[in-house]
Amino acid sequence: MDAKEQAKQRLTERNFPSAEQEASIAAPLAARHRYARPGSSYRLAFTDTEFLLREELRPVRMQLELLKPELIQQEHGIESTVVLYGSARIKPPEEAAALLEAAHAAGDAAQIRRAETALEMSAYYAEARRFAAIVTERSRAHATPIYVVTGGGPGIMEAGNRGAHDVGGKSIGLNIVLPHEQAPNAYITPELCFQFHYFALRKMHFVMRSIALVCFPGGFGTLDELFETLTLIQNRKSRARPVLLFGQRFWRKLFDLDHLVDTGMIAPQDLHLVRFVESAEEAWEVLASHYGFDLPPTQTGEFADDI
């Protein structure tokens, strides 16, 4: 190191030890101290899990859950995403086919009907996987790549992460702690696999960077995410963007948007907030047409504008 570099180092040295340095010093001392016991107030506040989990610290925990995924995505240069919503129960085609074969072998009529339905629905898994691969691969031609983001679980979520993985791309998983055992799928980019306690903050991260929201058939969770997004767009709390519903037959049977217009529950123009698509290629063409292949980032500064 020459004299100029040494001078620069002296000028930029920290005036105080970092929190990380202090924590590494304090930890072994605390372990030997007579006050080092459960419930002790001696531990540093930011390393004291018992303190951070107090009811009064909820605002701090919410801030941390907002900041952690935000800062990490910034570090990875992630500016634009496509969100894939859909059921955790939809199986890969090969798994659904094996279930049907087993049902036929068992000769159980009810089991056969369920397995036939599972095989039919598995087509959506294949289409979600294909769509995620297309988004990941074709967006590389643009200045701003698009990253697939899912809820990080099985079913359609797995298909989305898997499609990006198929073409060597990164993808994001926003997992949530649930009472029943739930683990992230195997195809999420490890450094972009997040875990949430608060549903509200998880849903906020879904929409903050999204240029489109793509819904495959799903249950209550999918509907919750879909209708919250539509409400935000309808009320202009969030910018308008494509909201695509895969499988018109499924969605038309689930809810009747025309009935909502006829009864005055929504305005006629609200029908244009969603669009039905049937294939991965069709969904991509909608995005290409909407953005003219000039796919914009949703960030203009150091922190997501939607916060």
- What is the Cα–Cα distance from 149 to 172, expressed in whole angstroms? 5
Kindly state the DSSP code that residue 144 receives in the 8-state scheme: S
Q: Which two tokens stand for residue 306?
A: 């939607």
What average pLDDT score do residues 143-171 get? 96
Q: Which two tokens stand for residue 240?
A: 């308008």
**Residue 303 pLDDT > 50:** no
Arithmetic mean of pLDDT over the chain: 90
Residue 53, pLDDT score? 93
Pairing of β 243-246 and β 275-277: parallel
What average pLDDT score do residues 84-103 get? 95
Q: Which fold has domain 79-93+123-291?
A: Rossmann fold (3.40.50)
Q: At what angle do helices 199-208 and 58-75 cross, to 10 degrees?
A: 30
- What is the Cα–Cα distance from 224 to 180, expressed in whole angstroms? 19
Q: Which of 26-30, 165-169, 182-186, 242-246 has the lowest mean pLDDT?
A: 26-30
Q: Is 171 helix (H, G, I), strand (E, B) or coil?
A: strand
C-alpha 81 chain-centroid distance: 9
Within 13 Å of residue 274, how many CA atoms lie on the same side as its CB?
A: 21
237: confidence class by pLDDT, cuts 50, 70, 90: very high
260-269: Cβ within 8 A, 24+ apart: 266/234
What average pLDDT score do residues 97-126 get? 93
Q: Is 195 helix (H, G, I), strand (E, B) or coil?
A: strand
Measured in degrees and rounded to the nearest 5, phi and psi for residue 300 equal -125, -5
Contact 174, 202 (CB under 8 A): yes
The answer to whether the pTM exceeds 0.85 is: yes
The sign of the torsion formed by the CA atoms of 204, 205, 206, 209 equals: positive
